[in-house]
Amino acid sequence: MNLADRIEGLRTRITRACEAANRDPESIELLPVSKKQPLALIREAAVLGFTRFGENYVQEGADKAIAAPDLAFVLLGPLQRNKAKPALQHFAEIQSLDRPDLAERLRRLAQEQEVSCPVWIQVDLWDEATKLGGCTEADLPALIESLGGDARLPLRGLMAIPPPGLEAAFRQMADLRERLQQTLGQPLRLSMGMSDDLEEAIAAGTDQIRIGTAFFGERVYAR
């Protein structure tokens, strides 16, 4: 299957999920996840109108951002403090902010370099272990506090990778978003739903779905 066909199939899934949930398909942002995909394929997607892509690894994303300055890349993968500088330099947004020490490092760098970068907080309500990253609900207030309302790191929303098969997970995230919006008095977007579970995420009210394999096909891992 080629890229255009896969995207058409995805659009159909999104439309059906929206019909079932009584939502407007236009309200769902489709973020293609291009990790482990060649730049040539990303370029094909750009021709079809996509300009923002999710990446998991700082080095890989930075390389692509340098090679394609006309496109924007969003960091989705775990971020180490010692990679904060290239992350800030090359990514248009960071969705995997999950610790106060990282927030503080990003703030310091953003101030030094006089740049700004919208951030999303990655939340893990299910104790998925540290591999995937994510902040627990209990640790959220301290993390938000550490951002200090800094205009250089505006908080855009919450990102999550709910465990497969846990049906309640997407609703839990939607509830958390509601509560946090109330507490903070600001709108927050919700990014959840991947190739296998975009329907559940749309039903629960996600604003953005992050789609890798259903968009680009299987990832190409070096042998």
Ligand X SMILES: *Cc1c(COP(=O)(O)O)cnc(C)c1O
Please give the residue ranges that form the binding site for ligand X (CB under 6 A): 33, 35, 56, 76-77, 161, 194-196, 210-214
Pick 181 or 213: Cβ nearer ligand X: 213
Pick 75 or 107: Cβ nearer ligand X: 75
Decide if 179 contacts 140 (C-beta within 8 A).
Answer: no
The three-state secondary structure class of 161 is coil
CB of 219 to ligand X, least distance (A): 7
Pick 33 or 71: Cβ nearer ligand X: 33
Pick 180 or 211: Cβ nearer ligand X: 211
CB of 182 to ligand X, least distance (A): 26
CB of 185 to ligand X, least distance (A): 28
Q: Which residue is nearest to ligand X (CB)?
A: 212
Pick 61 or 205: Cβ nearer ligand X: 61
CA dihedral 118, 208, 51, 112 (to 10 degrees): 10
Q: How far from 146 is each of 28, 88, 98, 155, CA to CA, in Å? A: 30, 17, 11, 12
CB of 75 to ligand X, least distance (A): 10
CB of 217 to ligand X, least distance (A): 10
Locus of tokens 């907080």: 121
Question: For residue 191, what are the β-bridge partners?
Answer: 159, 208
Q: How far apart are CA 211 and CA 11, in angstroms?
A: 12
Decide if 132 contacts 161 (C-beta within 8 A).
Answer: yes
